[in-house]
Amino acid sequence: MNYWMLKRILNFWLVNAFWIAISFTIFILMMSLINSNSIQIQSFQISDKILHASAYMLMMWAWMMLLKKLGMSRSVLILLIALTMFGIIVEGLQAYLTESRTADWKDALANFIGLIIGVTTFNQLFFRLIYQEKR
């Protein structure tokens, strides 16, 4: 990607950090609670654990960008705990609010792994965008 594209991505993400984080969170909640029979992913085989981890990694990136924007980067542990609890609660809601889904501790673990990957990779991603921007 060129300098201007990276700069636009970073600026868009920073300006809209709150709405991007809220949107990812609502999207994950909706996808977790809709009828799984209505989701057709038969064109390729992929583990749902990879989907869980990827979704939660992206959600962590979005929330960490908001923390970065607000100057609250030291609150990452609180964010990690909050999003871990969110994932556990969503898994519990699947057992009580849906007929086509079940709560699965392996899904909650995949969610947590995605959050950890998000925490460990965010600064590399963020600083790479900043570094590219300054060149």
Would 73 be classed as within a structural domain?
Answer: yes
Q: Does 106 map to a domain?
A: yes
pTM of the model: 0.84
> Poorest-confidence range of 5-14, 32-41, 66-75?
32-41
Look at residue 107 and tell me if it is in a domain: yes
Burial of 29 (0-12, 13-18, 19+ CB in 10 A): middle
User: Domains in the chain: how many in total?
Assistant: 1
R_g over Cα of the chain:
16
* pLDDT for residue 101: 81
Is 83 part of a structural domain of the chain?
A: yes
pLDDT higher than 70, residue 111? yes
Q: How high does pLDDT run on average in the chain?
A: 86
Interval 9-36 mean pLDDT? 90
Instruction: Determine, yes or no, domain membership for 40.
Output: no
Ramachandran sector of residue 71 (left: φ over 0; alpha: ψ -120 to 50; beta: rest):
left
- What pLDDT shows up at residue 42? 56
* pLDDT greater than 90 at residue 21: yes
pLDDT of residue 97: 85
Per-residue pLDDT band at 55 (split at 50, 70, 90): very high
Domain assignment present for 37: no
How confident is the model at residue 39, as a pLDDT? 61
Higher pLDDT, 104 or 130: 104
pLDDT-derived band of residue 102, with 50, 70 and 90 as boundaries?
Answer: confident
* Contacts of residue 9, Cβ cutoff 8 Å, sequence gap at least 6: 1, 129
Q: Containing domain of residue 82, as a range?
A: 3-32+50-134
Residue 44 included in any domain: no
Is position 21 within any domain? Answer: yes
Residue 90 pLDDT more than 90? yes
CB-based contact 79:112 (threshold 8 Å): no
